[in-house]
A and B are shown apart, each in its own frame.
Chain A
Amino acid sequence: MTDTSLSLTIRAAREKLRAREMSSVELTRAFLDRIHALNPSLNAYITIMDDEALAMAHAADERIARGDDTPLLGVPIAIKDLFSTRGVRTTGGSKILGNYAPVWDATCVARLRAQGAVFLGKLNCDEFGMGSSTENSAYGVTRNPWDETRVPGGSSGGSSAAVAAGLCCAALATDTGGSIRQPAAMCGVTGLKNSYGRISRYGLFAFGSSLDTVGAITHDARDAAIMLAAMEGCDPQDATSVDVAPIRADLSGLQDLRGLKVGVPKEYFIDGMQPEVEQRVREAIAQLQALGAEVRDVSLPNTSLGLPVYYLIAPAEVSANMARFDGVKYGLRVQGEDLIDTYMKTRGAGFGAEVKRRIMLGTYALSAGYYDAYYIRAQKVRTLIKRDYEHAFETVDVIAAPVTPTTAFKIGEKADDPIKMYLEDVFTLPVSLAGICGISIPCGFDQNNLPVGLQLIGPAFGEQRLLDVAQTYQATTDHHLKKPSLSLSL
C-alpha cells in the first residue's frame, strides 16, 4: 500500500487543526505510526520521541481549544540531531555522545517549542555534520526514499529523507558547506540555507564556526518561509547572530517574475556532470524566463577554488571545535594511563573516520610552518570567492545553478575516496564560504526517477527574494508535489 496522506505541508496540517478536522494528538499519532513502520528501512530518525511528542501535541490541543493560532501550533516536525533538545538524547550522529542529553534547548528549538510545534524526534546526519551522504553517521546510513540503495545526501540526510517520505511536516537542518541544499536536491524536497548570522546557532553543535548556518528542509518554499520566520532574529547568546528585517512569511504575492534579473554562471555547468542534471536545470531557468525573468550570463571565476579553500578552512575550524570532546564534562571516556592518554583513547574510539580525517587535516593546516601557506592563503582566496558573488550581484538579483553535479549516488560508491565525496559539494561550498543564502528546489527527475535540484542563490540576507522566486516557480510547476511511493504495511 502506498500512503501519501501524510505528505502534509505545515500549512495543510495547520488547516486540518484549525478546522478541527483532527487534533494534534491524532495527527502526531499518525506520524509516529508511520515513522515506526518506515524507519526500520529508511533510518531517518536516530531517536523517536513518542512520549514527548504526544505530550507536546496534547499541550498544543489545549492551546488550540483556547483559540491560540500560530503558524506551527500543533504541527509535527523533526530536528536534526545536531541541535540541543532539553532532556532528549542528542548524539550529533557520533558515538562520542551516545548517551548525551542536553540540559538546555538550542535557541531555534526553543523558539519552535514556544510556537507550539510538536517534536517527533531527532534525525540522522553525518557525524557532527561532516559528510555528504549520511554514511558518516555512527547510527547507520539513511536510505533515500526514492531508491533505498542510494544515499539521501548529507549531512542533513535524515532531514531530507524524513520530509520526502512524509515522516514529518518539516525538518530542522544545518548547512556548513551544502548540508541542507544537497540532501534536499537528492530527495526532491525544498531546502533553504540561510545567510550566515540570520538564525542563532546557540545550542547547535559547532562544526565550522565561520560557516555553520541553521535552516529547514520543507515540502515547499512557503513552508521554508514559515520556518525561517519562526526561528530568525538576534540572540544575545550568539554573538554572530544579526538582526535584519523579518521575513514576510506569506509568499502569495508575486504573480510573475517580470523585472527580475537571473544570472547563470558558466562555471556551474561543467564537463563530467550528469547531462540530465544540466538539462533539468536549464529547463527550470527557461521556466523562470517564461515567467518574465531576464536571464543573463554571469561569471564566478573562482568557483573551482571553493573546494580546496573549504577543505582547509572547515577542517581548521573542526580541529578547534572538536577539542571540547575530552571525556571530562560529557560524553564518552576511555580511561588511559594518564590524562593525555585518556584524551587520545577517548577521541580515537569516539570519533568516526571522517571526523578524525578533518581533525588531522585541520591540525596540520594550523600547525607551525604551515599556517601561512595553507590557512591564511585559503582565507585570502575565500575573499576572492566572496567578491565574485558581490560583483555578480551588481548586475543580477539571483543566480540560478545546479545544486549537485549528479543525482543521488549508490550507498558505498564514494565512501573510500574523500576527494570524490568532497566534489559532491562543489556547487554549494562557494555559497557557504561567501556566507550568502541559497535554496534548493525540485526541478525534475533523471531517467532513474531520481530528483534533480535547482539552486537559487541570493546575496547576504536576500532570503525574501529567493523565497518569492522559488514560490513563483513552484506555483507554476509540480516537481515539488511528486513524492516517492513507499510500500507501507501497517
Chain B
Amino acid sequence: MYDYDYDYDYDYDYDMLTEAEVERIALLGRLALTGEEKARYARQLSAVLDYAAQLANLDVEGIPPTATVIPIRSVMREGDAVFGSLPRAEALANAPSTDGASFVVQATLDND
C-alpha cells in the first residue's frame, strides 16, 4: 500500500515524551536546554517519532541492514608512511583556551 502522506497533518494525539525523558536525552547529548526548549522538543520529537513509527509495521525479516552503500572491507595497511604532523601552533590556533603548549580544560577528576 502506498501511503504518501504529503499532507501529513499531525495532531498531538500520540504518546508524548515526558519532560524527564527529554532531560535524559539532553544530558546524553550534552545539551543545556531552556524550559521552553524542553517543552518544544518534547512535542516535536514525539511528532517525528510518531511519523517514524510507520516503519514498525513493515516486515523486514531477513533483510540485512545497510550501514554504508559502498563495499568497504578491512585491509592490512602496506606499511606506515611517515607524514609531517600538524605544527603545534596550528593545532592550537583555534582553541578557546591554551597555555601556548596545550589545550587548557577544566579538571576531569575530583581531588578526593
Do they bind each other? yes
A357 near B45 with CB under 8 A, answer: yes
B31 near A364 with CB under 8 A, answer: no
A418 near B5 with CB under 8 A, answer: no
Q: Which residues between 107 and 128 of chain A lie within 8 Å of chain B, taking CB atoms?
A: none
B69 near A270 with CB under 8 A, answer: no
Is B72 on the interface with A (CB-CB < 8 A)? yes
A418 near B44 with CB under 8 A, answer: yes
Contacts of A420 in B (CB 8 A): 8
Contacts of B55 in A (CB 8 A): 305, 308-309, 312, 374, 377-378, 381
Residue in A347, A359, A384, A435 whose beta carbon sits within 8 Å of that of B63 in the complex: A384
Q: Which residues between 68 and 97 of chain B lie within 8 Å of chain A, taking CB atoms?
A: 68-70, 72, 86, 90-91, 93-97
Q: Which residues between 453 and 469 of chain A lie within 8 Å of chain B, taking CB atoms?
A: 460
B2 near A304 with CB under 8 A, answer: yes
Q: With the chains together, A99 CA to B47 CA distance in Å?
A: 35
When A210-B68, A270-B4, A338-B106 are in contact, do A308 and B52 touch as well, CB less than 8 Å? Answer: yes
Q: Which residues between 326 and 356 of chain A lie within 8 Å of chain B, taking CB atoms?
A: 326-333, 338-345, 347-349, 351, 353, 356
Is B58 on the interface with A (CB-CB < 8 A)? yes
Q: Which residue of A lies closest to B65 (CB)?
A: A379
A305 near B54 with CB under 8 A, answer: yes
Q: With the chains together, A380 CA to B59 CA distance in Å?
A: 10
Chain B proximity of A417: nearest CB distance (Å): 9
Contacts of A101 in B (CB 8 A): 93-94
Which of B4, B41, B56 gathers the greatest number of chain A CB atoms within 10 Å? B4
B63 near A383 with CB under 8 A, answer: yes
Is A44 on the interface with B (CB-CB < 8 A)? no
Chain B proximity of A394: nearest CB distance (Å): 18
When A210-B67, A343-B30 are in contact, do A364 and B45 touch as well, CB less than 8 Å? Answer: yes
Q: With the chains together, A294 CA to B31 CA distance in Å?
A: 54
Q: Which residue of B lies closest to A239 (CB)?
A: B72
Chain A proximity of B52: nearest CB distance (Å): 4
A240 near B68 with CB under 8 A, answer: yes
Contacts of B44 in A (CB 8 A): 357, 418
Contacts of A309 in B (CB 8 A): 55
A311 near B45 with CB under 8 A, answer: no
Residue in B6, B32, B52, B90 whose beta carbon sits within 8 Å of that of A271 in the complex: B6
Chain A proximity of B5: nearest CB distance (Å): 7
Contacts of B97 in A (CB 8 A): 333
Residue in A196, A272, A345, A362 whose beta carbon sits within 8 Å of that of B69 in the complex: A196
Q: With the chains together, A290 CA to B81 CA distance in Å?
A: 56
Q: Which residue of A lies closest to B94 (CB)?
A: A330
Contacts of B33 in A (CB 8 A): 348, 356
B94 near A196 with CB under 8 A, answer: no
Contacts of A242 in B (CB 8 A): 70
Is B101 on the interface with A (CB-CB < 8 A)? no
Counting chain A residues whose Cβ lies within 8 A of the other chain, the interface size class is: 35 or more
B66 near A382 with CB under 8 A, answer: yes
Q: With the chains together, A420 CA to B44 CA distance in Å?
A: 12
A329 near B47 with CB under 8 A, answer: no
Q: Which residues between 18 and 47 of chain B lie within 8 Å of chain A, taking CB atoms?
A: 22, 25-33, 37, 41, 44-45, 47
Residue in A329, A361, A383 whose beta carbon sits within 8 Å of that of B64 in the complex: A383
Contacts of B56 in A (CB 8 A): 373, 377
A271 near B65 with CB under 8 A, answer: no
A328 near B103 with CB under 8 A, answer: yes
Contacts of B103 in A (CB 8 A): 328-329
Chain A proximity of B111: nearest CB distance (Å): 13
B67 near A340 with CB under 8 A, answer: no
When A273-B6, A360-B41 are in contact, do A331 and B94 touch as well, CB less than 8 Å? Answer: yes
Q: With the chains together, A100 CA to B72 CA distance in Å?
A: 33
Is A411 on the interface with B (CB-CB < 8 A)? no
Q: With the chains together, A204 CA to B53 CA distance in Å?
A: 32
Residue in B41, B49, B52, B66 whose beta carbon sits within 8 Å of that of A379 in the complex: B66
B6 near A379 with CB under 8 A, answer: no
Chain B proximity of A413: nearest CB distance (Å): 15
Chain B proximity of A137: nearest CB distance (Å): 19
Q: With the chains together, A361 CA to B28 CA distance in Å?
A: 11
B93 near A103 with CB under 8 A, answer: yes
Residue in A210, A342, A344, A378 whose beta carbon sits within 8 Å of that of B31 in the complex: A344
Q: With the chains together, A74 CA to B64 CA distance in Å?
A: 49
Contacts of B22 in A (CB 8 A): 360
B29 near A381 with CB under 8 A, answer: no
B47 near A419 with CB under 8 A, answer: yes
Chain A proximity of B34: nearest CB distance (Å): 8
Contacts of A312 in B (CB 8 A): 52, 55
A-B contact pairs, 14 of them (CB 8 A): A100-B94, A197-B70, A271-B6, A305-B58, A309-B55, A311-B51, A333-B96, A333-B97, A342-B106, A348-B32, A356-B33, A357-B45, A380-B65, A460-B69
New A-B pairs, 6, CB < 8 Å, besides A210-B67, A374-B52: A103-B91, A347-B30, A351-B31, A380-B65, A381-B60, A422-B48
Binding site for B on A (CB under 8 A): 99-101, 103, 196-197, 210, 239-240, 242, 267, 270-273, 301, 303-305, 307-309, 311-312, 319, 323, 326-333, 338-345, 347-349, 351, 353, 356-357, 359-364, 367, 373-374, 376-384, 386, 405, 418-420, 422-423, 426, 433-435, 460
